[in-house]
């Protein structure tokens, strides 16, 4: 191409480009104007709409509560499980005027003003913002329908399905397994807020309380998007919860029922444990109550009835009931006396019907006012002779007595996994000085020899002390959990076995206990005579009302509730102890007459087969010359 034309072209190109750039600039201005207009539209015209939208839009992290571990009896029967239940929840932040919404709920479901008060309390217990708080559990079909129909009047109110604890065995295990209940303010302060963020219930007593950590599990999370009404639109992320571990108890439903029947409707307590393993197979505190009442929140009326009942059904007599052990402590005292060398198996004491300290007028009376004459150890236990043990206690002294009795578990918590066990009391000089600012009197030692005075023990402690005689001093803390997710429970603080100078001392004490039921002068020989196997036991009475010096105990004069509690401890079979039992019958008066038959029935239920014979596994080995007891 010729040069001049190109130069001209160059000029033309510049004009062309400039024109196009101008068009471009106009386009840019126009489109930027469009963007600005769009922004104006969104931010000014639609501002109200979008700000409410942004207010109501939430992504929430919803906790997924773990399923609580199940509880089984030793044969795998369910004691505590979780049942789906519909509950009514209120989310305060979404309800607007939530108090008015509660009014509507009460009106829609036709509930009372008391319920309204309860609802308000429960709503206020909500912990996290936007947390749906259950206010009413176990909704019926009709109630669900009513809520659905009136949904428009009930903003923030929803029917939620959740798993709720259920105790199919009802009252049988109320005192041992306990129950769960709604988390209260105090518990809220102590528990891990993250792990319990989705949990509404927590173990309140018993196994449920003691193994709360194990049973609860680990919380899971769900990140959800919710709309303005709080309805979950979609799940963004999910971390599954780790369910709680199942617990198999050593308790046996059959034996539990048998023990309750044996008590025959009377108030009292029974503990049956396996001395060789420490497993508690029956734990009865009568009267009992239905633990299911507490799960979803017990009504004021129901709770008032339970709390104010003269029979005290909420009172755990096995773990918290404190009784002077009375004569049931005599076998352990005998072991102490033998080991300390203050008595021998053959040493004798003359009983004129009372014991007197040197140079003191006061008479410590034997229960048999006429006296038993010359008494050795065997007879002293079999006859439950008080004078012998007054004498022995005096010789032993409080310090050694305190030492030995402590080794038997008195005055301390003995169980491995029982909630709220009471330590009881084994007095000592130091204790008395601290408690009463007084020195110890010799007379106080004397009455301790027959389990009276300051000494106080729970039925569980008595059962364990008896089991120690059965196992010849081998300490295994009594426990309710047999396995936790397959693992046996571990004792972090085991107690030392009781070592005696001569292990035969155990046999002397056990033989005395055998004589109680099988000896010719035994106090409970009527019970022993009817037994298919040899039982070692000891009766006792726990005074309810103090008897003044010189006054005679006359049951007829006393009101029923002021009569003595009947106690009986036993283990069987003597040759190879399989079960140890402690029975306390409230106001039962006679240990050997009332409590001993109960103990035997419990042991029968455990040891005998349907034909009334010892079960094969418990039967004594056959020797060459035939059967031998």
CB distance 538 to 569 below 8 Å: yes
CA separation for the pair 155, 104 (Å, rounded): 10
CB of 97 to another protein, least distance (A): 24
Q: Which of 9, 240, 305, 487 is in the footprint of another protein by CB under 8 A?
A: 9
Of 8-16, 175-183, 269-277, 405-413, the segment contacting another protein by CB under 8 A is 8-16
Q: Any contact of residue 232 with another protein (CB under 8 A)?
A: no
Q: Any contact of residue 7 with another protein (CB under 8 A)?
A: no
CA separation for the pair 31, 60 (Å, rounded): 39
Q: Any contact of residue 622 with another protein (CB under 8 A)?
A: no
Of 39-47, 85-93, 121-129, 536-544, the segment contacting another protein by CB under 8 A is 39-47
Q: Any contact of residue 47 with another protein (CB under 8 A)?
A: yes
> How many CB atoms sit inside 10 A of residue 335's CB?
25
CB of 58 to another protein, least distance (A): 7
Q: Which of 29, 124, 144, 188 is in the footprint of another protein by CB under 8 A?
A: 29
CB of 64 to another protein, least distance (A): 20
CB of 226 to another protein, least distance (A): 11
Q: 415: which residues sit within 8 A by CB, 6+ positions away?
A: 319, 421, 460, 477, 478, 479, 480
Q: Which of 3, 4, 54, 624 is in the footprint of another protein by CB under 8 A?
A: 54
Q: Any contact of residue 124 with another protein (CB under 8 A)?
A: no
Q: Which of 31, 148, 161, 188 is in the footprint of another protein by CB under 8 A?
A: 31
CB of 225 to another protein, least distance (A): 8
Of 35-43, 343-351, 447-455, 614-622, the segment contacting another protein by CB under 8 A is 35-43
Site residues for another protein, window 57-86 (CB under 8 A)? 57-59
CA separation for the pair 143, 106 (Å, rounded): 11
Q: Which one, 32 or 547, has the nearer CB to another protein?
A: 32
Q: Which of 2, 4, 7, 42 is in the footprint of another protein by CB under 8 A?
A: 42
Beta bridge partners, 162, equal: 85
CB of 229 to another protein, least distance (A): 14
- DSSP labels, 448-465: HTTT-TT-BB-HHHHHHH
Q: Which of 81, 115, 120, 225 is in the footprint of another protein by CB under 8 A?
A: 225
> CA distances (Å), 330 to each of 54, 315, 473, 503, in order?
78, 27, 16, 18
Of 14-22, 158-166, 293-301, 535-543, the segment contacting another protein by CB under 8 A is 14-22
Site residues for another protein, window 435-494 (CB under 8 A)? none
Q: Any contact of residue 234 with another protein (CB under 8 A)?
A: yes
Q: Any contact of residue 129 with another protein (CB under 8 A)?
A: no
CA separation for the pair 282, 273 (Å, rounded): 7
Q: Which of 7, 12, 238, 530 is in the footprint of another protein by CB under 8 A?
A: 12
Q: Any contact of residue 34 with another protein (CB under 8 A)?
A: yes
Q: Which of 7, 21, 161, 242 is in the footprint of another protein by CB under 8 A?
A: 21
Burial of 77 (0-12, 13-18, 19+ CB in 10 A): middle
> How many CB atoms sit inside 10 A of residue 195's CB?
17
Q: Which one, 94 or 563, has the nearer CB to another protein?
A: 94
CA separation for the pair 12, 1 (Å, rounded): 16
Asked if 327 is an active-site residue, the reply is yes
Burial of 543 (0-12, 13-18, 19+ CB in 10 A): middle
Q: Which one, 10 or 301, has the nearer CB to another protein?
A: 10
> How many CB atoms sit inside 10 A of residue 257's CB?
15
Question: Dihedrals φ, ψ of 38, to 5°?
Answer: -60, -45
Q: Which of 2, 4, 11, 36 is in the footprint of another protein by CB under 8 A?
A: 36
CB of 102 to another protein, least distance (A): 29
User: Cα 104–88–299 angle (5° rounding)?
Assistant: 90
Q: Any contact of residue 39 with another protein (CB under 8 A)?
A: yes
Q: Any contact of residue 374 with another protein (CB under 8 A)?
A: no
Question: Dihedrals φ, ψ of 400, to 5°?
Answer: -65, -35
Question: Residue 215: which region, alpha, beta or left (left: phi > 0; alpha: psi -120 to 50)?
Answer: alpha
Tell me how far apart the terminal alpha carbons of the chain are, to the nearest angstrom. 135
From the candidates 85, 87, 288, 327, which is the catalytic residue? 327
Q: Which one, 30 or 559, has the nearer CB to another protein?
A: 30
Per-residue binding letters, 178-217, with another protein (x by CB under 8 A): ----------------------------------------
DSSP H or E stretch at residue 116: helix 113-124
> CA distances (Å), 472 to each of 400, 476, 579, in order?
19, 12, 14
Q: Any contact of residue 20 with another protein (CB under 8 A)?
A: yes
Q: Any contact of residue 4 with another protein (CB under 8 A)?
A: no
Of 561, 555, 565, which is closest to residue 588 (Cα–Cα)?
A: 565
CA separation for the pair 296, 606 (Å, rounded): 35
Q: Any contact of residue 26 with another protein (CB under 8 A)?
A: no
Q: Any contact of residue 53 with another protein (CB under 8 A)?
A: yes
User: Cα 121–125–131 angle (5° rounding)?
Assistant: 125
Q: Which of 16, 160, 228, 545 is in the footprint of another protein by CB under 8 A?
A: 16
Q: Any contact of residue 526 with another protein (CB under 8 A)?
A: no
CB distance 459 to 271 below 8 Å: yes
Binding site for another protein (CB under 8 A): 9-10, 12-14, 16-21, 24-25, 28-29, 31-32, 34-36, 38-40, 42-44, 46-47, 49-51, 53-55, 57-59, 225, 233-234
Which residues carry out catalysis? 327
């Amino acid at each position: 191409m010729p040069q001049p034309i190109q130069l001209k072209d160059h000029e033309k190109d510049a004009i062309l480009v400039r024109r196009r750039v101008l068009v471009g600039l106009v386009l840019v201005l126009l489109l930027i104007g469009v963007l600005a207009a769009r922004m104006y539209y969104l931010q000014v015209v639609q501002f109200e709409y979008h700000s409410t939208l942004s207010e109501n839009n939430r992504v929430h992290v919803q906790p997924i509560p773990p399923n609580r571990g199940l509880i089984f009896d030793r044969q795998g029967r369910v004691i505590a499980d979780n049942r789906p239940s519909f509950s009514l929840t209120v989310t305060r932040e979404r309800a607007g005027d939530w108090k008015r919404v509660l009014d509507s709920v009460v009106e829609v479901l036709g509930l009372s003003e008391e319920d309204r008060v309860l609802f308000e309390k429960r709503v206020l217990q909500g912990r996290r913002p936007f947390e749906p708080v259950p206010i009413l559990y176990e909704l019926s079909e009709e109630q669900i329908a009513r809520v659905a129909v009136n949904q428009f009047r009930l903003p923030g109110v929803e029917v939620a399905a959740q798993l709720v604890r259920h105790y199919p065995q009802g009252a049988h295990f109320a005192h041992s397994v306990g129950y769960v209940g709604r988390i209260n303010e105090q518990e809220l302060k102590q528990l891990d807020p993250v792990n319990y963020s989705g949990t509404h219930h927590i173990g309140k007593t018993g196994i449920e309380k003691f193994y709360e950590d194990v049973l609860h599990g680990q919380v899971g999370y769900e990140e959800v998007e919710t709309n303005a009404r709080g309805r979950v639109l979609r799940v963004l992320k999910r971390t599954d919860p780790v369910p709680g571990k199942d617990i198999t108890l050593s308790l046996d439903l059959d034996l539990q029922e048998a023990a309750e029947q044996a008590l025959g409707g009377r108030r009292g307590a029974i503990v049956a444990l396996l001395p060789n393993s420490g497993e508690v197979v029956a734990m009865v505190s009568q009267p009992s109550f239905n633990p299911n009442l507490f799960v979803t929140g017990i009504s004021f009326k129901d709770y008032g009835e339970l709390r104010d009942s003269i029979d005290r059904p909420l009172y755990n007599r096995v773990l918290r009931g404190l009784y002077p052990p009375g004569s049931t402590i005599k076998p352990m005292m005998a072991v102490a006396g033998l080991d300390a060398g203050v008595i021998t198996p053959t040493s004798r004491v003359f009983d004129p019907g009372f014991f007197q300290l040197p140079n003191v007028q006061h008479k410590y009376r034997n229960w048999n006012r006429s006296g038993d004459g010359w008494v050795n150890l065997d007879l002293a236990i079999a006859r439950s002779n008080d004078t012998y043990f007054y004498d022995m206690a005096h010789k032993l002294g409080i310090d050694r007595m305190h030492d030995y009795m402590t080794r038997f578990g008195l005055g301390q918590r003995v169980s491995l996994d029982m909630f709220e066990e009471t330590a009881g009391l084994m007095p000592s000089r130091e204790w008395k000085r601290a408690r009463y600012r007084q020195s110890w009197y010799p007379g106080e030692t004397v009455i301790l020899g027959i389990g009276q005075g300051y000494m106080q023990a729970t039925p569980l402690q008595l059962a364990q002390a008896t089991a120690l005689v059965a196992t010849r001093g081998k300490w295994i803390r009594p426990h309710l959990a047999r396995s936790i997710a397959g693992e046996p429970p571990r004792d972090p603080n085991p107690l030392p076995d009781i070592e005696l100078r001569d292990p035969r001392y155990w046999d002397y004490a056990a033989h005395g206990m055998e004589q109680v039921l099988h000896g010719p002068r035994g106090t409970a020989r009527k019970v022993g005579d009817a037994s298919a196997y040899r039982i070692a036991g000891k009766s006792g009475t726990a005074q309810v009302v103090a008897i003044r010096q010189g006054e005679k105990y006359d049951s007829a004069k006393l009101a029923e509730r002021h009569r003595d509690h009947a106690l009986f401890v036993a283990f069987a079979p003597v040759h190879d102890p399989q079960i140890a039992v402690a029975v306390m019958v409230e106001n039962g008066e006679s240990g050997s007459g009332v409590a001993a038959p109960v103990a035997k029935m419990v042991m029968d239920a455990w040891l005998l087969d349907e034909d009334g014979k010892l079960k094969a596994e418990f039967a004594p080995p056959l020797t060459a010359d035939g059967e031998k007891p």
